[in-house]
Amino acid sequence: METPWENLHLMPASPLLDELHGKLESRYKIYKLREALAALEGDYDAVWIDTPPALNFYTRSALIAADACLIPFDCDDFSRRALYGLLETVKEIQADHNADLRVEGIVVNQFQPRASLPQRTVQELVDEGLPVLEPYLSASVKIKESHEQARPMIHLDPRHKLTQEFVALFEALG
């Protein structure tokens, strides 16, 4: 789909994906996304796939199709346990389906720099040698406004602190 923003196209999910899930999984169609993306090679500078937080067929299919993945992390124990599970899944997918898949980094989300729990939790990940990316993304209601208006942060409020953190993170990914 075209968007109002130059060089940005979207392919939104459909409610029908839920109905197709079982059929695709039972017919071993886990490589279909990789095949579809291969057909687009050369048409786009980058393709970003946003998956649901669950480790389901669609997330696994995206990891099989991807060159790299970013893992969002929300600075709590639940996210930490999910992170370790996802890292194990990435290792399995590397071993069985996509040896070239790499974890580009862990994106710290909803970071509150004055609170001790997020600071300690993120520092423990860094100390474990995990690829935690900087800058950490601040908690802000502005992102919810961005979602509500269906406008990227850079177009909603280019000077906002969170927007600048997103820009810095994008530049760090190079």
Q: Are 86 and 55 in contact (CB under 8 A)?
A: yes
pLDDT score recorded for residue 21:
76
Confidence of residue 15 (pLDDT cuts 50, 70, 90): confident
Q: Higher confidence at residue 62 or residue 7?
A: 62
Question: pLDDT for 113-124, tens place per residue?
Answer: 999 999 999 999
Q: Are 96 and 63 in contact (CB under 8 A)?
A: no
| Beta strands, E only, the chain | 68-73, 102-108, 132-133
pTM of the model as a whole: 0.89
CATH 3.40.640.10 fits 16-173, yes or no: no
Question: pLDDT for 57-85, tens place per residue?
Answer: 889 999 999 999 999 999 998 999 999 99
